[in-house]
Structure 1
Amino acid sequence: MRTLATVLAPLQSGAAYLLLIPWDLRNRPEHPGELIETTPVRTWAVVVFTLVLLALGLWLGRSGVPPWQAMPLAAGVPSALLLVSYLTHRTPDANPWPPAWVCFTVLMAGGVLLAALAGRFSAR
């Protein structure tokens, strides 16, 4: 079960990221010519993605994977995809993406760590 979890978790988290989070994360006008910009990221998609990461962390913890190993297994692929997305879509103005990437990576890894800890303690 532990081997299956370590193989499937990165695949599932990467698939969830690709299905739920848009590739180009830059803000854009809702309609041509508007000055007010909006994000292409939808709240429901972020909530579902968060639930997927938490479920994977819980599953990894219950499978006996140490919590510090669960973090890169569940959050590593989405973090790498997010970084590639940021690097391939340069903004014409100031570039806030490097600090944003660090922040989102810490949030993903922290959530997975807490879920893996909860899964580990609930399995006992």
Structure 2
Amino acid sequence: MSSTLATSTHTATTHSSGQGSGSLPLAADLTVTVHTITQAATVTLIVTGVIAFYLLTCLIWPFGRCRRCNGAGKHKSPFGKAYRYCGRCQGSGMRVRIGRHVINYIRAARGAGTNTVSKGDKK
């Protein structure tokens, strides 16, 4: 049945003189466009959900392990058995996650926009 439909579609598109059956290719183009828009909307929804989930986890757990010292807070010296505190995390073993930086930036920008009038300037 699909080969009959494909043949009739091919015949209608190749032999049409611009009259009568010209709506068949338009319907096929519309179907492809709707399918593409649906795929784009689905991908956008999934990406938005993943970003929202990541920002939520950054809100709950703002710190991650330091990548330089692997969360230990100290390095072994290259010569000997001495340990030094990690310079990147200052010995805490933790770092602020990128998503938490984004949340802090959004909060600061929103706070700067709403608190523009000081108490002394009110009339």
Please state which band the TM-score falls in when normalised by the shorter chain.
under 0.3
TM-score (norm 1): 0.27
Higher relative helix content: 1
Higher relative strand content: 2
TM-score (norm 2): 0.27
Task: Say which structure, 1 or 2, has more relative contact order (CA 8 Å, 6+ apart).
Answer: 1
Larger-gyration structure (1/2)? 2
